[in-house]
Amino acid sequence: MITARGVKPVVRVQWPRKAFWLYGVIEPTSGWHFCQEYPHLNSENFQKFLDVLSQELGSDMGLMQMDQASAHQALALSCPENIIPIFQPSHSPQLNPMERLWQFIKRQFKGESFSHLDQCVKEFNMN
């Protein structure tokens, strides 16, 4: 930006960012967990996650506690027969065991800065 001499330019800077989302479930008593990475947080990817989770469960049944995020409640979602959804009350993350896992993961990376998204994914997979 060009300005007059002695005038400090004021410009909006938008840093380039990339992100990924982890979709996951955990069975608190045994510690069994299942997690997958997706490029977006939306109902389409959540449906993919449910379908893959259903295959992973096989003949087992899964009781899946979820918050009331719009991706979890989309009308287009089709919950597989071996997954039973239970929606927790609004603003109550303490009721969902998966939220404690997300908090643990976030603490591991607090203050970290990665030059590339691939570096972050690699670091996550090592932990």
Please check whether residue 100 lies inside any domain of the structure. yes
**Nearest Cα residue to 50 out of 71, 19, 27:** 71
pTM to 2 decimal places: 0.72
CA distance 62 to 69: 19
Please check whether residue 30 lies inside any domain of the structure. no
Q: Write out the residue range of the structural domain in which residue 72 sits.
A: 36-110
Please check whether residue 13 lies inside any domain of the structure. no
Q: How confident is the model at residue 44 (pLDDT cuts 50, 70, 90)?
A: very high
Please check whether residue 115 lies inside any domain of the structure. no
* Domain total of the chain: 1
Please check whether residue 42 lies inside any domain of the structure. yes
What are the residues facing 64 on neighbouring strands? Answer: 85
Structure-token pair, residue 104: 């643990």
What are the residues facing 62 on neighbouring strands? Answer: 83
What pLDDT digit, counting tens, does each position of 76-127 carry? Answer: 889 999 999 988 887 777 777 777 778 888 888 787 777 777 777 777 666 5
Please check whether residue 104 lies inside any domain of the structure. yes
